[in-house]
Copies of this chain bind each other. A is one copy, B any other.
């Protein structure tokens, strides 16, 4: 089961949110979960977990994003990266349901016509694996050319709540797909 919660208050994502039991500490949500909220994104080099970004000194900044923090209480990071990819695919699919065309996924990034929509990372904590996914609401002042939900006329809350629900459903559907087959030789 993947519990979910939309948190209605603004929260700046500065990287420290990607720490174990984020949902339990802040929202008393215990177990695998996805939490959504809005707020600026500003991750300093010290807080970055993606060493590819650190090596390139890539700045992660956005005036306003919808953020999602996923926690999975298993220690298999490869599996969690697959979960992350499915999360990113779902974002693309939800945008399509909201009539946005031309969204392209490359790994864990989303683009429209080479403008970047999102940032994402997956990593291990001492007790779990975790994903951050952020999609721009505003596209102003970003370090690379971006597009945001505002540019696409998508309401951030409508989008956020759809993703929470569909991601939770997808995880449940995967768990059930595992429990309906006989083995083969």
Q: Is the CB of B125 within 8 A of A185?
A: yes
How many copies the complex holds: the figure is 6
Contact with B along A2-31 (1 / 0, CB 8 A): 000000000000000011110011001011
Contact with B along A77-93 (1 / 0, CB 8 A): 11101111110010001
A 28-69 contacts with B by CB, 8 A = 28, 30-32, 49-52, 55
Check if A127 is an interface residue, CB within 8 A of chain B. Answer: yes
**A95 nearest CB across to chain B (Å):** 13
Q: How many residues of A contact B (CB 8 A)?
A: 58
Question: Which 4 pairs across A and B sit closest by C-beta, in order of nearness?
Answer: A126-B183, A82-B82, A123-B181, A89-B89
A interface, CB within 8 angstroms of B = 1, 18-21, 24-25, 28, 30-32, 49-52, 55, 73, 75-79, 81-86, 89, 93, 101, 104-105, 107-108, 121-128, 130, 170, 173-185
